[in-house]
Amino acid sequence: MKAKNILTATLVSFVAAGACWLSTNQSNVKQGAYGVTTNLVTVDGTETVTGSAHKWGKDTARVYVSISSKSKSKKKLKQATYKAISRWNSTKSFHFSKTSKKSKADIVVTLTKSRNNAAGQTTTSYDLDSGELLDANVRLNTYYLLSKRYKYSYTRLVNTAEHELGHAIGLKHNRHVSVMYPSGSRYCIHKIDVKNTNKLYK
């Protein structure tokens, strides 16, 4: 029986200064041939992006946003995530449809609280044979995003969510004025992002 070839990629948006890197390990993480790609992004850091582009089989994906709106600040982050979704949808280059069932989701957005220098982190799995994405997990880190110390504005929260969703659809970093700028929260979706998404899906 042929094992399913799946690669897992983790893309992290760092908030602190330091090196930005992407490493690709072809290792047996789970059964079958797996690999892990980690992309760590810094505010002012350099980056190394390797590997080929991975994308969904079509230009749509179902997203489940698992963020409680119990506290005011989390509610704000949830709103920022929905804003990022609608901004991506308005570009018409890719469409995120919201689902209320996690089991039906292609992309799951959750919160994490970790002092790991990562404001956001996106892990994607993709089929080694076809290169198609199988699932994506976006984690928004409240340790930074909702901290008084780091003072993330609502705009930067939206930009961060847009950036991570960009990874979730297969976009890599670039050094232009772009939502995929490694800093993660400096820019919103720009023309180049729509162009790069169209390149993948149209």
Helix/strand/coil percent split, the chain, to 5: 25, 30, 45
Q: CB atoms < 10 A from the CB of 83, how many? A: 18
Distance CA 113, CA 140 (A): 8
Residue count at the site for Zn ion (CB under 5 A)? 3
| Residue 106 DSSP symbol | S
Residue 174 CB, nearest approach to Zn ion (Å): 10
Q: Is 13 in the site for Zn ion (CB under 5 A)?
A: yes
Stretch that binds Zn ion, among 38-46, 76-84, 92-100, 125-133 (CB under 5 A): 38-46
Residues 9 and 137: their CA atoms lie apart, in Å, by 10
- The reply to whether 20 sits near Zn ion by the rule CB under 5 A is no
93 binds Zn ion (CB under 5 A): no
Nearer to Zn ion, 68 or 114 (CB): 114
Applying CB under 5 A, does 41 fall inside the site for Zn ion?
Answer: yes
Q: Residue 103 CB, nearest distance to Zn ion (Å)?
A: 27
* Cβ 22 to Zn ion shortest distance, Å: 9
Residue 141 lies near Zn ion (rule: CB under 5 A)? no
Residue 166's contacts (CB-CB under 8 Å, 6 or more residues apart) are 88, 179, 180, 189, 193, 197
Residues that bind Zn ion (CB under 5 A): 11, 13, 41
